[in-house]
Chain A
Amino acid sequence: MPDFFDAYFAQQIINGLSLGLVYALVAIGFTLIFGILNVVNFAHGEIYTVGAFAGLLLIVGAAPPLLAVVLFAMAVGAAAGVGLERLAFRPIRRFSDEASLKSRAMREATLLSSLAVSIVTRELMVHFFSGEMQVIPQAALLQEVIAVGPLTLTNGNLFIFGASVVMLGGLQFMLYRTRVGLSIRAVSNNVLGARHVGIDTNRTIVATFAIGSALGAAAGILVGLYNGNIFPYMGFAPGVKAFVAMVMGGLSSIPGAVISALLLGVSESVATDFISAGWKDMIAYGLLVVTLIFFPQGLFGHGRERV
Chain B
Amino acid sequence: MALLEVRDVHVAMGAQEILRGISLEVPERAIVAVLGGNGVGKTTLMRAISGIYGIKSGEIRFDGREIGNAKSHEIVRLGLAQAPEGRQIFGTMTVRENLQLGGIAIPPGETAALLDKSLELFPVLKARLTQKAGSLSGGEQQMLCIARALMAKPKLLLLDEPSLGLAPKVVKLIFDLVKRIRDEGATILIVEQNAKAALKVADTAYVVEGGKIAVSGPAADLARDQRVIDAYLGGHAKGH
Give the nearest-CB partner of B76 in chain A. A198
Q: Is B101 an interface residue (CB 8 A)?
A: yes
- How far does the alpha carbon of A186 sit from the alpha carbon of B81 in the complex, in Å? 17
Q: Is A200 an interface residue (CB 8 A)?
A: yes
Are B52 and A196 in contact, with the CB atoms below 8 A?
yes
Interface flags, A195-226, vs B, CB<8A=1, else 0: 11111110000000000000000000000000
A86 partner residues in chain B, CB cutoff 8 A: none
The B-contacting residues of A in range 140-190, CB under 8 angstroms, are: 179, 182-183, 185-186, 189-190
Shortest beta-carbon distance from A76 to chain B in Å: 29
The A-contacting residues of B in range 145-165, CB under 8 angstroms, are: 148-149, 151-152
Are B52 and A195 in contact, with the CB atoms below 8 A?
yes
The A-contacting residues of B in range 94-141, CB under 8 angstroms, are: 97, 100-102, 104-105, 108
Are A197 and B148 in contact, with the CB atoms below 8 A?
yes
- How far does the alpha carbon of A182 sit from the alpha carbon of B98 in the complex, in Å? 9
- How far does the alpha carbon of A55 sit from the alpha carbon of B104 in the complex, in Å? 36
Are B108 and A179 in contact, with the CB atoms below 8 A?
yes
Interface hit among B83-91, B178-186, B187-195: B83-91
A192 partner residues in chain B, CB cutoff 8 A: 52, 84, 88
- Select B92's contact among A182, A195, A199, A305, beta carbons within 8 Å: A305
A305 partner residues in chain B, CB cutoff 8 A: 92
Are B92 and A97 in contact, with the CB atoms below 8 A?
no
B89 partner residues in chain A, CB cutoff 8 A: 190, 193
Shortest beta-carbon distance from A252 to chain B in Å: 10
- Select A190's contact among B76, B82, B91, beta carbons within 8 Å: B91
Shortest beta-carbon distance from B125 to chain A in Å: 16
Q: Is A241 an interface residue (CB 8 A)?
A: no
A122 partner residues in chain B, CB cutoff 8 A: none
Q: Is B224 an interface residue (CB 8 A)?
A: no
Are B105 and A97 in contact, with the CB atoms below 8 A?
no
Among A182, A197, A304, the most chain B Cβ lie within 10 Å of the Cβ of A197
- How far does the alpha carbon of A197 sit from the alpha carbon of B106 in the complex, in Å? 10
Give the nearest-CB partner of B51 in chain A. A195
Are B92 and A306 in contact, with the CB atoms below 8 A?
yes
Shortest beta-carbon distance from B87 to chain A in Å: 8
- How far does the alpha carbon of A103 sit from the alpha carbon of B81 in the complex, in Å? 26
- How far does the alpha carbon of A186 sit from the alpha carbon of B50 in the complex, in Å? 18
Are B73 and A198 in contact, with the CB atoms below 8 A?
yes
Give the nearest-CB partner of B47 in chain A. A97
Are A190 and B73 in contact, with the CB atoms below 8 A?
no
Are B105 and A198 in contact, with the CB atoms below 8 A?
yes
Are B73 and A199 in contact, with the CB atoms below 8 A?
yes
Are A198 and B84 in contact, with the CB atoms below 8 A?
no
Please judge, given known A-B contacts A97-B53, A193-B89, whether A179 and B84 are in contact too, CB under 8 Å. Answer: no
Are B72 and A195 in contact, with the CB atoms below 8 A?
yes
- How far does the alpha carbon of A198 sit from the alpha carbon of B107 in the complex, in Å? 13
Please judge, given known A-B contacts A182-B97, A182-B101, whether A197 and B92 are in contact too, CB under 8 Å. Answer: no
Q: Is B93 an interface residue (CB 8 A)?
A: yes
- How far does the alpha carbon of A179 sit from the alpha carbon of B100 in the complex, in Å? 9
- How far does the alpha carbon of A179 sit from the alpha carbon of B93 in the complex, in Å? 14
Q: Is B77 an interface residue (CB 8 A)?
A: yes
- How far does the alpha carbon of A190 sit from the alpha carbon of B86 in the complex, in Å? 12
- How far does the alpha carbon of A279 sit from the alpha carbon of B81 in the complex, in Å? 57
Are A200 and B52 in contact, with the CB atoms below 8 A?
no
A189 partner residues in chain B, CB cutoff 8 A: 90-93
Please judge, given known A-B contacts A189-B92, A306-B92, whether A197 and B102 are in contact too, CB under 8 Å. Answer: yes
- How far does the alpha carbon of A305 sit from the alpha carbon of B108 in the complex, in Å? 27
B148 partner residues in chain A, CB cutoff 8 A: 197
Shortest beta-carbon distance from A93 to chain B in Å: 14
B149 partner residues in chain A, CB cutoff 8 A: 196-197
Q: Which 8 A-B pairs have the closest CB atoms?
A: A198-B76, A198-B105, A193-B88, A200-B73, A189-B90, A195-B72, A198-B73, A197-B101
> What residues make up the interface of A, taking CB atoms closer than 8 Å to B?
97, 179, 182-183, 185-186, 189-190, 192-201, 304-306
> What residues make up the interface of B, taking CB atoms closer than 8 Å to A?
50, 52-53, 71-73, 75-77, 81-82, 84, 88-93, 97, 100-102, 104-105, 108, 148-149, 151-152
In addition to A195-B52, A198-B152, A199-B104, 17 A-B residue pairs with Cβ atoms within 8 Å of each other are A179-B104, A179-B108, A186-B93, A186-B104, A189-B93, A192-B52, A192-B84, A193-B89, A194-B101, A195-B73, A196-B88, A196-B149, A198-B72, A198-B77, A200-B71, A201-B73, A306-B92
